[in-house]
A and B are shown apart, each in its own frame.
Chain A
């Protein structure tokens, strides 16, 4: 049975449209809100209108008496439920107990106080309005620096200094670096609070079956298995009797890398009432109660030689934690410390992180989680240093880059960067944008009185989270490949993609390895009853870690298929090759992958030492993080009259290792850049001094719109990661990390002739105008 085997085209590396999209764009995807169950009850939550207040009393009688209201629970009812979990730990970390409903005091606007359960969501909302709380407002504090000042109101009365932790990290010899320095540049840099705003808000459905002692929870999460373990603990249930389903999840950006009070609360309500119950977060609640990102005040000092050689970087980082720790709150700023050195080879760092409680919703992981803040810090400081010594910003970067022969490269912060050629990426970016020509144009523009700026950011990123010892709950990932008797393939990944597109990219990988059509592969995720334990989706890890686990499971399938194929062809195991969907022996005889699958389940002929079926599961532990990097360049012009910033060109050259699907990569980069520019130019989560969130709706919180985006020119260099078999690094956060410093560097460069050295984000037109006013006044005085 000699057959002609047609060579199949490789799918990995191709721009393939997402398999997910048909259901998304036809409105047939199932989100938590779409889960409908018989006798489903609906919950609404009463929240604190005060930044800080004592609850003198709560009267629920009117709410409870409202027709249609089934139950009302307050803080006194939920003491049997475990408090909200923080998985991060640091020496001496103060962890306030975060009950799922407030007890006698509320700590931030939006803090959950009571839950009304009713026959429909309208009655539930009416019930909330009927709860009477006797509030005694107390003084709030929302600015982390003010919270550290003597005499500031205590967020938690037991810790009057508002300090949750102080974390120090040193590398090299800082004293020597500063002693050797010929120039030291200092700057306070703020990375403002941001509100993640995924398109889908949070939502939970909990369904308790008393007879089985079994709970099913649908929740909009990035970490279904971890959430299940935590919720089982909070509710005192057996982990194997809790089924957690992350259905379609409409974005998270880190904000759903968490387990929130409402998840255990709905579990509690369902157990109490023996009925399923649903809670859907409103957009206003999302603004107020889902974690925020960033919230840094950084004091940076960079020491260098006059020739541009950086000697060391000192950082005091004040992290606005909010009132509580959510899942990873205290860990986020420690990631900033790890990424402080950027792409540079200097050996000395010194960092102190002060975690500060404030009367605000907790901060936690938001796209980039600690790395954008670090990159912003180092890339701003390098530009300021260049300006100080009169060096070109590109040149100073070349001078300090780790060289391509330095890998694996041990940084001053103790990380080992896997691979890279930073100079080559910057070369490509400078060439693409014609840097030399641009600088000439700039001279011309300045002569004409125009404020033209060129901003470079060469960012590095720590992703592919990560080696288990370096993560709070394990950093490995799992994959199961199940080949059906027909040869159709089901991949089950422990990742929980929610917009990243792994249903497509993982199918590409599987299709290539097994030689089956793309449409023969489906990818399942997010249901703990279907998928083996996994870690989830965050930290640009899906491909680099989850994809690697998948790759190894596919190799197991291949091996087993080859043994079956050899048996079917009547040759020895080692005498066949599996390629292009066929197992072929040295004589050119072959069987198809589908025939093998059928035989494996039919079980008539079983290879010695093998067994029926064609299923493989792998748990893969990465030996290191992966470290993508890139160079982003922004050409901007500032309107002298209004301060408005126009982006003339945006160029991103990213090295994210091997690329599985360039279309997905473009999408990730564009979205990341949008969020990064959002931070640089518009977005700001603002609390007033009393703890009111004044940027509490889209009327005041400026999310970037399509019309506000520049055209993004994108290119890549490819330096495969040696850490995983795919050579992939990660792209989920790259755009966010590279864009903010490029934007600020560009505008500072534009305003440099006016003597401007630094601008804090967001660089609103009004802020730029004021800066120009002030510096022109200074000029006139001088």
Chain B
């Protein structure tokens, strides 16, 4: 299944990029994530509880971040296996700087995110959840970026080195 979409974060690409490379931040942003432990270079052990409608299940897996190209792009691989099935997603996340949208010379204050990849879903969830997979994955992506935005803005105040407040 193809997964693709766009999102925006109200801070510059460097910051957005770093947030997404930070396991502590990822652990907070990935919906249902219980823990994310570093197991190797750019590799993390993932434990996740998915709960959606009546469906719920524990997944164990890993997250791998590769092809780093700060702050433009990186590749992310997420794998998880649980009693109710398994999920594997691989995709490229591209970041681009956005200005205030008024003048082209304005400072970059926000990040445009573009992601595209493939997801494989197997086991029981694949057999029964066809009509939910698209809407659910979209919602989880949405939740991820929303949380990331909160985390980024929350960190804003505590980090005097960061640039001016983004786009508000």
A residues within 8 Å of B by Cβ?
Answer: 49-51, 109, 129, 284, 287-288, 688, 690, 692-697, 699-700
Contacts and interface: CB of A to CB of B under 8 A. Distances in A.
The A contact surface, by secondary structure, is: loop
Contacts of B127: 109, 284, 287-288, 692-694, 696-697
A694 B126 contact: yes
A690 B85 CA distance: 13
A129 B83 contact: yes
Nearest to B127: A696
B136 to A, nearest CB: 15
A696 B121 CA distance: 13
B71 to A, nearest CB: 33
A695 to B, nearest CB: 7
Contacts of B131: 699-700
B86 A49 contact: yes
15 contacts: A49-B123, A49-B124, A50-B122, A109-B127, A284-B127, A284-B128, A287-B127, A688-B126, A692-B122, A692-B127, A693-B127, A694-B130, A696-B126, A696-B128, A699-B128
Given A284-B127, A697-B127, A692 B121 contact: yes
B1 interface: yes
A9 B127 CA distance: 55
Interface in B85-137: 85-86, 120-124, 126-128, 130-131
A695 B130 contact: yes
Interface in B111-166: 120-124, 126-128, 130-131
Interface of B: 1, 83, 85-86, 120-124, 126-128, 130-131
A155 B120 CA distance: 19
Contacts of B83: 129
A694 B134 CA distance: 13
Contacts of A692: 120-122, 126-127
Given A284-B127, A700-B131, 16 more contacts: A49-B86, A49-B122, A50-B122, A51-B122, A129-B83, A284-B128, A287-B127, A688-B1, A688-B120, A688-B126, A692-B120, A692-B121, A692-B127, A694-B127, A696-B127, A697-B127
The B contact surface, by secondary structure, is: mixed
A692 B123 CA distance: 7
A729 B128 CA distance: 42
Nearest to B126: A692
Contacts of A109: 122, 127
A690 B128 contact: no
Contacts of B120: 688, 690, 692
A339 B103 CA distance: 72
A49 B81 CA distance: 11
Contacts of A694: 126-127, 130
Given A50-B122, A690-B122, A697 B85 contact: no
A360 to B, nearest CB: 14
Contacts of A50: 122
Nearest to A49: B123
Nearest to A50: B122
A700 B130 contact: yes
Contacts of B85: 49
Contacts of B126: 688, 692-694, 696
A688 B123 CA distance: 12
Nearest to B118: A689
Contacts of B128: 284, 696-697, 699
Nearest to A697: B128
A287 B130 CA distance: 15
Contacts of B122: 49-51, 109, 690, 692
Nearest to B120: A690
A699 B83 CA distance: 21
Contacts of B121: 692
A50 B121 CA distance: 10
A49 to B, nearest CB: 4
B12 to A, nearest CB: 38
Contacts of A693: 126-127
A612 to B, nearest CB: 61
Contacts of A696: 126-128
B97 to A, nearest CB: 36
Nearest to A694: B130
A284 B122 CA distance: 14
A439 to B, nearest CB: 41
A284 B84 CA distance: 14
* A-B pairs with lowest CB-CB distance, top 10: A696-B127, A49-B123, A692-B126, A700-B130, A690-B120, A692-B122, A697-B128, A694-B130, A49-B122, A693-B127
A49 B85 CA distance: 8
Nearest to A110: B127
A696 B120 CA distance: 16
Nearest to B133: A694
Contacts of A284: 127-128
A50 B81 CA distance: 12
A700 B85 CA distance: 18
Contacts of A129: 83
Nearest to B128: A697
A49 B86 CA distance: 9
B155 to A, nearest CB: 39
A109 B123 CA distance: 8
Contacts of B123: 49
A721 B47 CA distance: 69
B89 to A, nearest CB: 13
